[in-house]
């Protein structure tokens, strides 16, 4: 208890019991009930409040008076300085202008005395202006220190000097001859007048010094008054502080230490209550709060780190466990944990057949089996839904993780019983191992989840170890997939064109448009790298329409600008995924209906395999497009599964022989026979044929011998940007094998 009977708060450990009112010390301040019974002195809560209020008001009044005195004093000093500076500025400018005018007038007078040509009217006008300036100076300059009398005297001297040399007023008109001898005396008298004016400027500076000295006196007065008020405020602060320390700060320190321990996680700490005023009540409330927080902390900690259904650790606890091995200074840094992700196969069927209650019952049984398959140091967690995870400690070579996965597989072979239903359950498991280069738990989770995904798509009921190369390919494809949507709007697509030539004459009959993607970070990408992704994401519609519109307009421009290219056609690859969409099909029809596209010079290429998988919708759409005048080409013919009856109903005009028939030795009997059969079939069906992939002279010779009319390949010309193709077309060059080859 502090001196004077004031209460205090003392900390006690949780093991001590809180004393009751009857055990309080003799000098303790009694509570309100004791005061009413007359058994003690009243608590001094309100008297302390009045004392603190008086001290605070004293400090506030001192601060307000000091602030007012400071403002008034500073304002007086500033007014004095501004007045003195303004007067000096006016006097200095007036005298300076007068001196300049006198000097200019003196130079003109010297010219008159030297009989130099001078404008006498201007000279007299200067005299009048200088006289006016003398009057202004006499009005501006103060009478103190004889400044006004001095300027009047200087004016008389100046006027007398002019009159003495015949230069005042009307004397100027009668001035004749040269008076060079008088110049020196005249100039000396003028210099004297200017010297007098310079003395007046010095007197103005003396006046400024006097004004500043007065300002300094005002400043000292302000400082003295402010110091006195500051001392008064300091005394109030000292008094107020002593009262605060004695009656409030020390008891509150005990409460503060208790709060800090509570904040640090020591929820068992309690404060001994030895007073019955407001602070005593606060100490009691703190103890009650600490007990409630302790109970809530225990419950919330368990709830935040455990799955409510199975009682297993949850995702947060799993992440914390993995983070412990990645933190700085941990002794587990050099160890290698294995992470196993387990996903129940076809769990949705269980929920659909047995309801969510049955699904929950299955998950609880599964959790018990998983716990029975791991070691004591391993952690089993439920990530959510039907997905579980196992952290395998100290798995340096992933063998332990594989063994646990095997035990889990064996445990799942035993059927589960949910009510009266027996269920056979399998699970797909993916595993990843933490390495020194693993960045964070999220990365390890992504790797194990990817391995589980690969296991599930590999046939379910399997175990798969993380494959870094497959993961890199997946992330690469995911990045491309995300960027594809911006390819057309951002104008990142480009077109190359590969000529299609008459194999007999080498004349360029048409060009095939081949799309390229100028990726902002990956550079130029070929169609094989992004067209399959575009078909998955649906971006193939926008890309295909852009290629069709751009290529058809480009070819139409070449036909208009070059007379010998009037029959040049352009072929565009069309995905069969574009055909079932009424909206996309309408866009294609709009492009072909535009006269600028010249649809009769457009060839739409569709692969045989893709067309065979959607023959009904594809055939109907292609038949509708033929109404605009386009021709249809079956690309990669010979590699698909379409039958002859299917080919007979396809609205095809051109067959493009796949390059696989020309690979190796095209003159081999099997290859030649297949080529001959395709060419014969095309002839019977009245279809044109284009051979793809011509890369050596022997292939070209075989095709010519078999009567193939058109072809394309690197032997003739490779794909090139539009400026290169335009130059090739303009030159009229015929495509032939390079010189020196035997055709």
Task: Give the tokens for residue 641.
Answer: 């599964």
The gap from C-alpha 521 to its chain's centroid, in whole angstroms, comes to 18
pLDDT over 50 at 17, yes or no: no
* pLDDT at site 73: 67
Instruction: State the number of CA atoms in the 13 A half-sphere of 426 facing the CB.
Output: 10
CB 110 within 8 A of CB 181: no
Torsion of CA 77, 82, 85, 86, to 10 degrees: -150
Residues 406-416, mean pLDDT to the nearest whole number: 93
| pLDDT at residue number 225 | 75
* 524 Rama sector, left if φ>0, alpha if ψ -120 to 50, beta otherwise: beta
Q: Which residues contact 174 (CB under 8 A, 6 or more apart)?
A: 166
In this structure, is the dihedral angle defined by the CA atoms of residues 199, 200, 204 and 210, taken in order, positive or negative? positive
Give 413 or 741, the one with higher predicted confidence: 413
Mean pLDDT across the stretch 416-424?
91
Alpha-carbon gap, residue 349 to 390, rounded angstroms: 24
Residue 24 has pLDDT above 80, yes or no: no
* Higher pLDDT among residues 707 and 214, named by residue: 707
Which residue would you say has higher pLDDT here, 139 or 516?
A: 516
CA angle 669–670–676, rounded 5-degree value: 85
Encode pLDDT of 584-631 as tens digits: 989 999 999 999 999 999 999 998 766 666 555 678 888 889 999 999
Residue that wins the pLDDT comparison between 34 and 414: 414
218-262 residue pLDDT tens: 777 778 777 777 787 777 677 777 766 666 676 777 777 778 877
- Residue 578's alpha-carbon distances to 51, 573, 581, in angstroms, are 88, 11, 6
For residues 680 and 700, give the distance between their C-alpha atoms in angstroms, rounded to a whole number. 18
Mean pLDDT comparison of 87-101, 429-443, 698-712, highest-scoring range: 698-712
Cα–Cα distances in Å, from 644 out to 354, 607, 650, 690, 692?
A: 50, 16, 10, 19, 21
Query: Is pLDDT of 9 > 50?
Result: no
Q: Summarize pLDDT for 309-348 with one digit per residue, the tens.
A: 999 999 999 988 888 876 665 555 556 788 999 999 999 9
Distances (CA, A) of 698 to 132, 436, 678, 703, 713: 115, 57, 19, 9, 13
The residue among 216 and 328 whose pLDDT is bigger is 216
Instruction: Give residue 48's pLDDT band: very low, low, confident or very high (50, 70, 90).
Output: very low
Return the pLDDT at 712.
95
C-alpha–C-alpha distance, residues 24 and 29, integer Å: 9
Question: Is residue 304 predicted with pLDDT exceeding 60?
Answer: yes
Q: What is the mean pLDDT of the chain?
A: 80
Note the pLDDT of residue 102. 82
- Span 441-465, pLDDT tens digits: 888 899 899 999 988 888 888 999 8
Nearest to 371 by CA among 386, 390, 384, 357: 390
- Residue 364: its pLDDT value, please? 94
Tell me, yes or no, if the pTM score tops 0.75. Answer: no
Lowest-pLDDT range, 34-48, 449-463, 502-516, 652-666? 34-48
Residue 211 has pLDDT above 50, yes or no: yes
Q: Is the pLDDT of residue 729 over 70?
A: yes
CB 226 within 8 A of CB 218: no
pLDDT, greater one: 6 or 350:
350
């Amino acid at each position: 208890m502090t001196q004077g009977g004031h209460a205090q708060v003392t900390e006690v450990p949780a093991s001590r019991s809180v004393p009751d009112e009857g055990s309080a010390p003799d000098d303790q301040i009694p509570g309100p009930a004791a005061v009413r019974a007359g058994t003690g002195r009243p608590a001094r809560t309100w008297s302390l409040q009045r004392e603190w209020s008086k001290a605070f008001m004293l400090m506030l009044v001192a601060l307000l008076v000091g602030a007012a005195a400071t403002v008034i004093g500073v304002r007086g000093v500033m007014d004095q300085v501004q007045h003195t500076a303004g007067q000096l500025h006016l006097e200095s400018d007036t005298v300076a202008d007068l001196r300049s005018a006198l000097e200019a007038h003196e130079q003109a007078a010297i010219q008159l005395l030297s009989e130099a040509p001078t404008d006498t009217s201007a000279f007299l006008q200067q005299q009048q202006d200088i006289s006016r300036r003398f009057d202004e100076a006499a009005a501006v300059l103060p009478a103190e220190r004889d400044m006004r009398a001095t300027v009047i005297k200087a004016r008389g001297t100046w006027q007398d000097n002019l009159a003495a040399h015949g230069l005042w007023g009307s004397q100027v008109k009668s001035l004749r001859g040269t008076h060079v001898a008088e110049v020196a005396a005249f100039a000396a008298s003028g210099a004297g007048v200017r010297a007098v004016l310079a003395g007046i400027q010095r007197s103005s500076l003396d006046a400024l010094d006097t004004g500043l000295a007065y300002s300094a006196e005002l400043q000292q007065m302000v400082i003295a008054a402010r110091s006195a008020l500051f001392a008064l405020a300091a005394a109030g602060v000292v008094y107020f502080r002593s009262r605060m320390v004695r009656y409030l700060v020390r008891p509150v320190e005990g409460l503060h230490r208790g709060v800090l321990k509570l904040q640090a996680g020591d929820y068992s700490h309690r404060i001994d209550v030895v007073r019955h005023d407001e602070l005593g009540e606060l100490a009691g409330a703190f103890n009650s709060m600490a007990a409630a927080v302790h109970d809530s902390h225990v419950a919330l900690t368990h709830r935040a780190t455990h799955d409510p259904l199975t009682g297993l650790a949850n995702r947060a606890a799993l992440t914390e466990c993995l983070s412990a091995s990645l933190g700085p200074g941990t002794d587990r840094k050099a160890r290698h944990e294995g992470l196993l992700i387990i996903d129940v196969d076809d769990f949705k069927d269980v929920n659909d057949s047995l309801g969510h209650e049955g699904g929950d019952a299955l998950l609880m049984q599964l959790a018990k089996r998983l716990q029975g398959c791991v070691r004591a140091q391993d952690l089993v967690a439920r990530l959510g839904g039907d997905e579980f995870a196992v952290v395998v400690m100290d798995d340096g070579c992933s063998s332990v993780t594989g063994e646990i996965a095997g035990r889990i597989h064996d445990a799942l072979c035993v059927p589960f019983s949910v009510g009266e239903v027996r269920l056979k359950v399998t699970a797909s498991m993916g595993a990843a191992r933490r390495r020194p280069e693993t960045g964070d738990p999220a990365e390890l989770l992504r790797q194990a989840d990817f391995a589980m995904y690969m296991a599930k798509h590999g046939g379910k009921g399997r175990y798969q170890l993380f494959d870094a190369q497959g993961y890199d390919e997946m992330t690469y494809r995911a990045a491309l997939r995300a960027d594809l949507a911006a390819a057309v709007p951002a104008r990142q697509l480009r077109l190359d064109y590969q000529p299609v030539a008459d194999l007999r004459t080498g004349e360029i009959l048409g060009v095939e448009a081949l799309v390229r993607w100028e990726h902002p970070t990956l550079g130029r990408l070929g169609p094989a790298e992004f067209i399959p992704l575009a078909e998955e994401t649906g971006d193939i519609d926008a890309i295909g329409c852009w290629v069709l519109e751009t290529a058809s307009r480009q070819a139409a421009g070449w036909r208009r600008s070059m007379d010998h290219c009037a029959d040049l056609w352009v072929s565009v690859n069309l995905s069969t995924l574009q055909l079932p969409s009424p909206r996309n099909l309408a866009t294609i029809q709009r492009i072909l209906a535009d006269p600028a596209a010249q649809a009769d010079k457009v060839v739409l290429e569709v692969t045989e395999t893709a067309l065979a998988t959607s023959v009904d919708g594809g055939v109907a759409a292609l038949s509708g497009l033929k109404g605009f005048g386009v021709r249809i080409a079956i690309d990669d013919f010979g590699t698909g599964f379409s039958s002859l009856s299917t080919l007979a109903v396809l609205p095809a005009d051109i067959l493009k022989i796949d390059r696989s028939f020309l690979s190796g030795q095209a003159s081999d009997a099997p290859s030649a026979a297949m080529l001959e059969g395709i060419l014969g079939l095309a002839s019977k069906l009245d279809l044109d044929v284009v051979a793809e992939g011509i890369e050596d002279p022997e292939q070209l010779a075989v095709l010519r011998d078999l009567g193939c009319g058109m072809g394309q390949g690197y032997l003739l010309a490779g794909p090139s940007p539009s400026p290169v193709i335009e130059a090739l077309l303009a030159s009229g060059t015929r495509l032939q094998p390079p010189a020196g080859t035997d055709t």
